[in-house]
């Protein structure tokens, strides 16, 4: 399409209240020329998927530091499937133990980025994921 701008939803599911990391990522995606819809802290899976649907996003970035990533992501992926949005790539940041990464990938999570990841790596990954949607 003529004026394709990737639209990315960035949110924090669950109860941890630390949003510095997710804001840094939101800012980096903005500076990479994307339109970032930031919905803030303490989002339920239902809130996230509803926002993603209404905003018709091209990708979803989530940050979870609470350790509750497995049940949260299970519910989010369930809702994504329910709404027929499995074509929307989802990437995850935060404190995720290595042994969970492959299980998250199996669930359909496209990428997992731990603390200290280079921002360029994240923005390049997201561009790569959304490019085909133009």
Q: Determine which residue in the list 22, 25, 26, 109 makes contact with another protein, applying CB under 8 A.
A: 26
**Is the separation of the CB atoms in 93 and 119 below 8 Å?**
no
Stretch that binds another protein, among 25-33, 62-70, 90-98, 110-118 (CB under 8 A): 25-33
Cβ 55 vs Cβ 9: under 8 Å? yes
Figure out which of the listed residues 22, 29, 77, 80 binds another protein, where binding follows CB under 8 A.
29
DSSP string over 58-105? SEEEEEE-SS-HHHHHHHHHHHHHHTT-TTS-EEEEE---HHHHHHHH
Q: Which of 54, 109, 115, 42 is nearest to 77 (CA)?
A: 109
- Report if residue 131 touches another protein, rule: CB under 8 A: no
78 binds another protein (CB under 8 A): no
Our finding on whether 31 is near another protein (CB under 8 A) is: yes
Which of 15, 18, 83, 121 binds another protein (CB under 8 A)? It is 83
Q: Nearer Cβ to another protein, position 1 or 106?
A: 1
Distance CA 51, CA 19 (A): 19
Binding footprint of another protein, residue count (CB under 8 A) = 31
Residues at the site binding another protein, with contacts judged by CB under 8 A: 1-5, 7, 26-27, 29-40, 43, 46-47, 50-51, 53-56, 83-84
């Amino acid at each position: 399409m003529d004026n394709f701008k990737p639209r990315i939803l960035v949110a924090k599911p669950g109860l941890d209240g630390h949003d510095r990391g997710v804001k840094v990522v939101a800012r980096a995606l903005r500076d990479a020329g994307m339109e970032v819809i930031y919905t803030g802290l303490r989002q339920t899976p239902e809130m996230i998927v509803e926002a993603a649907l209404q905003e018709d996003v091209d990708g979803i970035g989530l940050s979870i530091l609470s350790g509750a990533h497995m049940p949260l992501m299970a519910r989010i992926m369930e809702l994504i499937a329910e709404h027929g949005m499995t074509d929307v790539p989802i990437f995850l940041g935060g404190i995720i133990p290595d042994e969970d990464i492959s299980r998250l990938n199996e669930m359909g999570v496209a990428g997992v980025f731990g603390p200290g990841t280079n921002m360029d790596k994240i923005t390049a990954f997201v561009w790569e994921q959304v490019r085909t949607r133009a």
